Structure 1
């Protein structure tokens, strides 16, 4: 076996770049240049290069020899695949939550929804949207399901960032209400209604990205 190496610096660099993407500093399609990043982060190019490989495995960036590294731009095919996989995972999560979640688990989900009321901008709302779904998957009590969510979590975050680049009209005011409704059906342990509302919640975002509807 090859000798073990410490990879803490590359992980930290990846965290910084990921945060910059999620904060909107680097939009989908933006170029990520190793020289500029190493200068900004005050590290050598080696950790930056390794960090970009980590982010590529997460689906957040795309590396190509003729174009360098760019923040991933999701194609219609990417969106369709991501939505179908997320839907399958979320359906199982909802069923698990309704069947097995404790009152404390549901309180944690409700707490994340409540934080949305105080969001001041779209990027913060996206973070809270992801945090809400983190809480739902945690409440499902299914470790392998949670691991599967973690595998696509960053791409879902990128998808929601893509959604707000298409339209922010009504976003800050409407998203908290949507999530209050999701909490209510989980607390009511109404499986059919919960599955329908979670599917509608996903579809609204996909339709905005696809340009087939405009949020009110």
Structure 2
């Protein structure tokens, strides 16, 4: 009947299934390019195929998986175009975030805590999670709700970017990333806008250079 609000559907189970699949991807159980079969996932998670189907649609909206009629659903394998677009978008978002943080001079305890977790990380996947938590903390410190929401919208894709990076170069990532982030945190605390912007740009460039043109990166179709 027009003019009435439709009853809400309960989506808690589908959200939980999405969380489980996302965690499995981020833990390396399903690497980029892996096929995700509804029936196998339903059996593994002890649910029907309906919540799995809803969960995969949610993850597709995040950019974490891709559904194609002839291939089914697979974990997104980033192409050179994907890498370039993520890099340019992150550049714009991080520039605003850094400028806001410098202008506000907020408490950066969460930023420091993330660096500490990186310095104690036991493996590459733990390091990637701490890496993302660092950037979460920077966006939170910027105090700009919509900016943080845009970051959260691409966060899963950035996680995939970092997983792809450690697939190409694990040792260099583990050895150098904590020190890079300590420099970034120090620049934010010092309040030097130009130095902070340059360090964040260099940080992004080093990450992209590892992937661009390297074997294993999906080439764009066409």
Q: Give the alignment's TM-score, normalised by structure 2.
A: 0.92
Structure 1 moving runs of 4+ over 6 Å: none
Which residues of 2 match residues 195-210 of structure 1 at below 5 A?
A: 195-210=197-212
Determine the structure 1 residue equivalent to 2:136.
Answer: 134
Pick aligned residue for 1:35 from 19, 36, 39? 39
Contact 2:93 2:151 in 1 (8 A): yes
Within the alignment, does 1:151 sit opposite 2:153 as a pair? yes
Q: State the distance in 2 between where 1:187 and 1:86 align.
A: 21
Contact 1:101 1:141 in 2 (8 A): no
Which residues of 2 match residues 68-79 of structure 1 at below 5 A?
A: 68-79=72-83
Within the alignment, does 1:89 sit opposite 2:110 as a pair? no
Pick aligned residue for 1:107 from 106, 109, 114? 109
Determine the structure 1 residue equivalent to 2:26.
Answer: 22
Instruction: Give the CA deviation at 1:211.
Output: 4.3
Contact 1:182 1:194 in 2 (8 A): yes
Instruction: Give the CA deviation at 1:114.
Output: 1.3
Q: State the distance in 1 between where 2:171 and 2:213 align.
A: 14
Q: State the distance in 2 between where 1:33 and 1:55 align.
A: 14
Determine the structure 1 residue equivalent to 2:190.
Answer: 188
Secondary structure, in 3 states, of the residue corresponding to 1:62? strand
Q: State the distance in 1 between where 2:92 and 2:55 align.
A: 30
Q: State the distance in 2 between where 1:148 and 1:14 align.
A: 20
Which residues of 2 match residues 44-83 of structure 1 at below 5 A?
A: 44-83=48-87
Contact 1:23 1:123 in 2 (8 A): yes
Q: State the distance in 2 between where 1:107 and 1:181 align.
A: 15
Contact 1:60 1:72 in 2 (8 A): yes
Pick aligned residue for 2:119 from 117, 120, 129? 117
Q: State the distance in 1 between where 2:89 and 2:119 align.
A: 29
Determine the structure 2 residue equivalent to 1:165.
Answer: 167
Within the alignment, does 1:8 sit opposite 2:12 as a pair? yes
Q: State the distance in 2 between where 1:48 and 1:101 align.
A: 44
Instruction: Give the CA deviation at 1:107.
Output: 1.9
- The gaps in structure 1 that reach 5 residues or longer are none
- Computed over aligned residues only, the root mean square deviation of the Cα atoms, in angstroms, reads 1.0
- The gaps in structure 2 that reach 5 residues or longer are 215-222
Instruction: Give the CA deviation at 1:169.
Output: 2.4
Instruction: Give the CA deviation at 1:50.
Output: 0.4
